[in-house]
Structure formats: C-alpha cells, structure tokens
Structure 1
Amino acid sequence: MSSSKLTTDGGNKKKSKTERMPRIPSRVLHLCQLPHDVTNAEVVSLGLPFGEVTNVLLLKRKNQAFLEMASEEAAVNMVKHYTPGGPILRRQPIYIQYSNYKELQTSHLPSQAKGQAALQAVKSGHLAATSALAAEGGRNPIPGAVLRIIVENPFYPITIEMLHQIFSRFGSVLKIIIFSKNDKFQVLLEYANPMNACCAKMVLNGQNIFNSCCILHIEFSRLSSLKVKYNNNKSRDFTRFDLPCGDVQSYMESSATPAFGTQNAILPSYAGAAGFIQPMGFMQSPGLPYPVVPVPGSVSVTTEAVPGLSALHNVVGIPESSVLLVRNFNSEAITIHGLFTLFGVYGNVLRVKIMLKNRETALIQMMDEVQAHLAVNHLNGQRIYGRVLQVSLAEYQAVQWEPEDQELVEDYSNSPLHRFKNPGSKNSQNISPPSETLHLCCIPSFATADELKKLFARTGSTVKAFRFFERDCKMALIQMGSVEEAIQALIELHNHDFGENHHLRISFSTMTI
C-alpha cells in the first residue's frame, strides 16, 4: 500500500464517495475532524480503552488520522461505542469510521518514528512515555503516575467509587484521596503506570462528569506516590484492603471544608461496549457499605463530554424519570408537607400527590432524575413513624391530578424552601444519608443549648448529646436516640420559626458528638 493511497483515503473526493455506502468493518479506523495540534499519543489514547493499538498514522494537514487496532473486534467495539456521539478531544467532536484498508504499512513514511514512539510509550511505561511526549514537539515529560484533579462546580456528590470507575478506563488505579482546599473539591489519584495517567489526562481533562457541572481539571502532581492510612469515603488504597476505616469526621466540622460525597452515594456502573477496561473489583471493608444500585435501561450518549461520562444517565443508566413512588408511610403522622420536607433533603421537590384510593402511597416529583435517584438511594428502607418506607422510581414523567384530587396534591415548584437553588452550593456538597446526628444552622443568637434540646425533646425524641460549633454559634450538632427519631425531628422542626425572621435549618450529618 503506497503513501499516496494512504493520504487519499482521507481526501474529500474519496470521503464523499464512501459516505454514500456502508464501510466494511476493519481493524483500521479512520478519524476525521481532529484538532490541528493533535498528537500521536492523543490519538492512541482514544483506542486504548477498547484494546491494544498496533499502529497509528497522523495526517496533521488534513486533521485526520488512521488507528490500527490489534483485532477487528476491538475496532468494532470502538465504532459501536462512539456511534451515538463521537469522542471529544479539546472540546472538538471527532468522527470515527472504518477505513478501507485492512492494515497500515507505514515503515516507509517519515512520520513513522513519532507514531511508533507513542505506541512504545503505551507498552513501556514511564521512560517511553517521556520520549514520546518529547517527540511530539517539546512537551514536558511526565513526572509520575499521580494526577491532581480539581472538580469545578461539583453540584452532585462525587464519590471514590465513581472516580475509580471513570479513571479505571485508562489503567489500573492504585490509590485515591479526596480533600477540600481553598473551597475546591480536589482529588489525588495514583495509577500503576505513568502512561495510564498520561492517557487519562489527555482524554478527560476539561470534560464534565454530569451535564454542565462537575468539570474535570487535571494536571500531573509533583508527588511520586500516595500514602494512604485509611480506607474510607475520603481515601482508598485498592492494593490494601486490610487498612482501618480511621476517623473521617474531624475535617467536616469546619464549614469551609465541605464533605463531598457520601458513603451511600450513587455508584456508577458502566455498561459500555465490550472490550472496555473493567474497573477493579472493590472488596468491602468492615463498616463501609458501598451498595451498587442496579438500574435498568439507559439513554443515548451525548457529545457534550466524553461518551459515557456526559451525564449521570450515561454513567449509571438512570431511567428518564424524576418521579418517585413512595409507599407504606404512616399517613396519620406524615403530611404532604412532611414528605416535601423529608425528600427535600436530597433534591428540590416540585410536586407531592397522595393517592386517592391508597393514602399510604404518594407520588413525588423531583427537579431531575439525579435528585430522584439520590432520594431512592438514601430513603428507601428507612423506618419512619413505625413504618419501613418503600421508595422507588415511578414510570410517570410528571405528577398530574384531577379536580377531585386537589386536596391531596401540593405544588412546590416555586417554594422558597428548596435547598438546591444554586449549583455547587454547600447544601449540594454536604448530602448525607439519614443518621442519628443532625446538623443545625441559622440558629439565632438568643437561642440557648437548653432551649434547643427542649425543642427537640418535644417531638418525642431522646436528645443524647448537643454542642455548638466553636467557630460559629449559628450552627450546632444534636444527636438523637435513633435514626428514626432524627428523621422525625427533621420533618417536624426544619424551618421552625424562632421569631424575628429566624428559621431553623436542619440536615443529616455524618459526624458524631
């Protein structure tokens, strides 16, 4: 195969002709509309999640490239995965199709050295990766296998499990540490191989996990490796399952250090094309429940970010419904407003409807599918007023009602009590499962500890402990006798009016007193 044939395969005349007929599957893929400054290493990284890449030919002047996979199956998987929406490279959508060629013969081409250097980097690790990037035009060598990640606008909880599954697409993830610095959600992540870190950075940098939020800003860390002492929801060593859970509460007391993510947060489960690098299995440590919520169905991939990462639908396959079916609640104890208050902990409740023929069943419409799934994950199976609550996603797209249902329906679309009006607010960063300990805020200066304890005791609950925050007396922690009592106290006392325009705000906390 001559060099002229290789270059004309991507030409406009040839392209317009082949677009009128389906191409036969081939292990050689043709990539179009690439950024003008794309590198061989970036092109290779697009194929890595699907299998071994055996050759690459970059045609920079035409903004095109050819990528040869080790098998036709790997190429087919890659094309199938990117058919709904091509990959995004430097915010530019890439078009991928089968080439007319069955293999690449590039030994006689001047650009072969760069392509082979990028391939050797994938296979040989740190030293080869350094040479490959240097060959691409003076790029800085990779300092190591540790990435520093800043998540911009973290509107939804980001968990270690979620990060592990996202970044495992590009290699074996050894350790992850989550922390907050300068009011920014940050992550340190260590790969087994520096080239894995290189590929992850090239593909994921600038992409968003969910639509319009949780944008990843990735750079190489100066650290050569990470030291993890505890396996909990803030740090994890996937090579050491014998590490203790440790104390994860101390950092949470400061309001400037929000607790991102929760132990029972939504866990992503990729159902992508066969041939993807599967995430490492997580062995549960005692006292650390991380349940994976199986959700049937999925929606098509968009092109707003990396395929499979652009929205929570594409990460966990959430059905397109924001309506919840809530059953088996105590209708004599819980009102429509009580349901609004409880489910409002996990999202903005738009409507609540008690079923006319079954007053122990209700439909609750959340603002979006993400918040609906958060409510299912945290509230299903909780015991409230002597009943075990059953919460699931409904088949309806919206809550509707007839005139005879008017007294059983309330519209909260414009409620001033919505907790999640502003994306990235501290409320969205501190979502916690129901617990014995409640976090109180907006406490007036004239309210004493004894008055607050008496207030909560009037709900029939046992107050086990109470303390104000040292740095902010407008906030406090109160520990109830049980999780059920804490839930009931939140329902009854959230937005309690102290007078003088002071209203109590209550949420669940993972801290203990």
Structure 2
Amino acid sequence: MSTSGQPQFRYTQTPSKVLHLRNLPWECTEEELVDFCRPFGKIVNTKCNVGANRNQAFVEYADLNQAIQMVTYFASSSDPAQVRGKTVYIQYSNRHEIVNNKGPGDVPGNVLLVTIEGVEAGDVSIDVIHLVFSAFGFVHKIATFEKAAGFQALIQYSDTTTAASAREALDARSIPRYLLPEHVNSSHLRISYSAHTDLNIKFQSHRSRDYTNPYLPVNPTAIEGFVQPMVGPDGKKVEAESNVLLASIENMQYAVTVDVLYTVFCAFGTIQKIAIFEKNGGTQALIQYPDVGTATVAKGALEGHCIYEGGYCIQ
C-alpha cells in the first residue's frame, strides 16, 4: 500500500499487454516513459499525457508476458515504481492494443456517446449515470434514449480533455453492481465520441438533465410519487395521501417562478423537486417533499391562502 492509501496494483483485472500507468509527473515525456518500461520488454506503442491532469499513460508491450513481468516485478518489490520521485500506480488496461488511428466515434470531442449493454431503459437511472461519470469532472448535460444498439446516453463535459479521461477510464468497464437492480447481471459500457458539442435539453426529466441551468422547466413526469387520483365507489375522486402536492395557482397577478414556490413551501420542510406546468388553461405545480407527513402539514397550512396580498392563491 502507498502512503495515500491507494493500492499500487489491482489484481482483479485480466492481464493485458497494454499497461495503464497513473500518477505520472505531468511533464513526463514519451522518452522517459519508454526508458522506464524498456527493461521488461519491447515497447511497440505508447499514449502519453492522458487524463484531465495529463498524468496518465498507456504502454503496449510486444508480448503479454513482458507486461506481466513488469507488473509482477513491482508488485513484489519493496520499492514502489517511481518516475521523477513520484509513485506510479500500474494496472492492466482493459484494452489489448493501443489504437492511434481515429475512425468514426474516435475523433475527440466534449460529448460522449455511451451504450450500456445488458440493461433495459428502466434499469439504469439518469442519477446513476451522473454519479458514475461526474467522478471525472463536472457533467454539464445528460440525455438518454433507446436505439437499435440498446440503451444509450449522451454525456456532455466542458472540454475534450475531461471527456477523454472519462472514456479512457470507463470504456469496456461495468457500472458498479451495487448501483444496479438485483435482476441485472452485467452492464458493460461501450463509449465513443459524439459529433454533438452542445446538447439541447428542453426539460429536466428522468430522461434528460441540464446541470448548468437550475431554472429549466421540469417535466411533470420527472416527479416521483405523483399518483393519479383514485375513484371511490360513488364515482367521486378520492384524494390519496402522497409526498407530492399538486398546487393549482389562480388569480395570477405576478409571474410564478420555481424560486417563489420554493420560498413558500420550504418553510415546512425540505423540497426535493418542483415542477411548474400549464394544464387546462391554468397554471399548476408539483412540489415533492421527502415524506407524506411534511406534505400534509404544508397542504393544511397553505391551501386556499394567498402568496401575495391581492396576488394569487394556492388551492
């Protein structure tokens, strides 16, 4: 173990003649990298200055046994692998060769096209996708959809370097098992670059998110827990208790914004989500609390009251 607590080697990976080196000095040159690796065999290809901090590299040996020899040597050595005094972390790459020629989908860009194999659309939530990919940098936007290739997602970063770092680390890997439903056995990621540079997200929803625009309207279907009214034996609607309130806004004298509704409803508890939409010629909103009790208190206190004197009412 290193002083940082990170294992210098990962033993769970399948051996490959391509090695992935991390924590290199950012000024490390290709010549230095080759000199460091040459004692263990013939180097046939390299890829330097990879990752957001340009401190990672890939080295391809002519023979698998040469790569195994290097990993085995440093794994059993009392001295860590070092370049310019920095401890270098070595692992087998999930690739078996370094491909430098760029075909369709290999031209670097800031938007990744991710195909998630082995899952249906409802198996992987957009929040899970965001959690996995935000580990490599700020994710600006995500759009998910279904194509003949399967369940896919477009993930937009601020720049090509961050996108490349995420692709190098995650391509051909799997989403962690604990983030998936029990019935999903595997979820391999196949990642290429998209020709898009800026995704057009019109609504926040369970299929699309824009993390740069907090004022973007929320599609009502994105609010979990919203239940259609039940009908009783007498044919009248029976209101079921829910952690989501449906507010009808009448006598509008001022524009309704998410901020205004948040200010009013947050006095009674944590607000998880707010959606404003037009229905039957009127303005309505969905306000989601973490539990039914909080929603019930807010409903009892606010129903029928005005937000502003002479302004609009919430029923």
Interval containing the TM-score (normalised by the shorter chain): 0.3 to 0.5
Name whichever structure is richer in strand by fraction: 2
Q: Normalised by the size of structure 2, how large is the TM-score?
A: 0.45
Choose between structure 1 and 2 for higher RCO, CA contacts under 8 A separated by at least 6 residues: 2
